[in-house]
Amino acid sequence: MKKFLITLGILLAIILAVLIAYLYRPVATKPVQADGEPVDMVLIGGGIMSATLGTYLAELEPTWKIQMYERLDKVAQESSFAFHNAGTGHSGFMEMNYTAEQPDGSIAIERAERTASQFEVSKQFWSHQVKVGALGDPKSFTNPVPHIAFVWGDSVDFLKRRHAAMITSPLFSDMVYTEDQSEIAKWAPLTMQGRDPNQKVAATRMDLGTDMNYGAITTQLVEHLTKQPNFELALQSEVTGISRNKDGTWTVSVKNLGNGIETHTKTKRVFIGAGGAAIKLLQMTGLPESKYYAGFPVGGLFLITDKPEIVEQHTAKVYGRAELGAPPMSVPHIDTRYVNGKKYVLFGPFATYSNKFLKNGSQTDLLASATKDNALPMAAVGLENLDLVKYLVSQVVLSDEDKLAELRKYYPDAKWEDWTEDQGGQRVQIIKKLPNEPAKLQFGTEIFVSEDASVSALLGASPGASTSPNMMLELLNKAFPEEVAGKWNAQILQIIPSFGQDLSKDAALLDRVRTETSRTLGLVYTPKNGAANAQPANKQEAAQETAEQEAALKPAA
């Protein structure tokens, strides 16, 4: 027994020594000097963030040389891919986790207002891109789909108070509330089929809601960029290093996955828009700020159906309320989805776990991101979030019967054989440990800009793609404050007419913005008096627009 304990002790000591040696390994890229003139910006990742930032820069600085690298053989194949996300145009209309209940019973709507304002920026950006030809037919990437918040039982009182608080804001003044099952059945028939007629239910509805295909947006923006003389796209190109040069520029080392050849690009600036891989890439830079971050990967599984008798009845995104104690990522919803002209209904998400930071990544991603600087914060966050760990475990072991039971809370007559399972994209939540502060697990997104503004990145997950134009505008403001306030300002106002103004406080401006973007993108919005100058030009056009809006919202027979 004594000999066994000694052997075990030696083995544990060896494992500990190996672990310590691994955590103390160098993670920053060794300096590599690239020759030639530097390009102005390297965009790492072919998702919606890089596509959006590249589109801004191509318009604001058309002479800049921009290089985009994507490790897969197409852009928009990770989180931006249509079936890897719920396609929600996050506007705070139905996301009840954006409106927290306060200890005194009041409902805080500030986060919902912030999210709604950001999505208004997104719509302005996309409208502008349609007008200049960077995006094609709006129906190829967006469709009007009402956003509905739906609850039952004890949550009815919460929703009623939420509605009362939200309609005080111009952003949500059109929100409608009901506790009438027959009315909800008109809005979202599936939710009432087979439901107990005596069950207490409630719902709110915003007709201005949207279903988005972020993969289509990304693909179209990148296609337009490739037609510009100063933009280059390299596919099947994996970034293997990012190192600082003596002159303050950066060298980005890239391996061609097709032929194995490694090349080096000298650049003035680097943007890391590589989804979950952003943390590992940021570590390559050796920047002191990169030590603050670690990642916690979480996946999502959806149930999807294209059965005609189901999808024809459902034209809405219906969000529920997360169970008590469940994390924000667990909010269930049953959604209309339009992908490549075909209509689907999606339900989920059910959380899944993988050590990968990308769906097309490696099971070693989590371990590869661990360093002496973030290992303890990662462990501390795990211990402090045991409820989250317990939730993830419970989700991973759900049976088909369990999943069907969850679906039936929103669609009581649902049958398992009508649905297929589809693994969504991989998300990496941020673990952040600032000096002299405890480590924190963050469920949102964060814009990273280095002290000298030469390296920037987008970290985190939801609401992500939905607010990408606003986030990239914020990034520009952080990285190029003088340009944004000076020579770029007039053009930014052409792209985003509300730039610099608070839409939650200016009802007239909000009305004008929504009227213009809704007409350009084909969304459902009834202008207020403040947008009279943006009304249809004649009665015939007005009647046609009204008919189109009504048809868009009416479920098929």
What pLDDT shows up at residue 548?
52
Domain spanning 39-485 has what CATH number?
A: 3.50.50.60
Tell me which of 215-224, 269-278, 323-332, 351-360 is least confident.
Answer: 323-332
pLDDT > 50? residue 539: no
Phi, psi of 36 (to 5 degrees): 90, 180
Mean predicted confidence (pLDDT) in 206-223: 98
* Distance, CA of 286 to CA of 251 (rounded, Å): 13
The angle subtended at Cα 410 by Cα 407 and Cα 414, nearest 5°, is 55
Of 122, 199, 248, 181, which is closest to residue 514 (Cα–Cα)?
Answer: 122
The confidence band for 365, taking pLDDT boundaries of 50, 70 and 90, is confident
In sequence order, the β-bridge partners of residue 455 are 270
Q: Are strands 250-256 and 237-244 parallel, antiparallel or unpaired?
A: antiparallel
Q: What is the pLDDT of residues 73-83, one digit of tens each?
A: 999 999 899 99
Question: Higher-confidence residue: 276 or 269?
Answer: 269
Q: What is the pLDDT of residues 83-115, one digit of tens each?
A: 999 999 999 999 999 999 999 999 999 999 999
Of 213, 127, 121, which is closest to residue 171 (Cα–Cα)?
Answer: 121
The confidence band for 432, taking pLDDT boundaries of 50, 70 and 90, is confident
Tally of CB atoms within 10 A around 551 = 10
SS3 content of the chain, % helix, strand, coil (to 5): 40, 20, 35
The confidence band for 541, taking pLDDT boundaries of 50, 70 and 90, is very low
Task: Dig out the tokens for 81 from the structure.
Answer: 């891919």
Of 124, 101, 117, 99, which is closest to residue 109 (Cα–Cα)?
Answer: 99
What pLDDT shows up at residue 345?
98
What pLDDT shows up at residue 542?
41
The angle subtended at Cα 444 by Cα 218 and Cα 89, nearest 5°, is 45
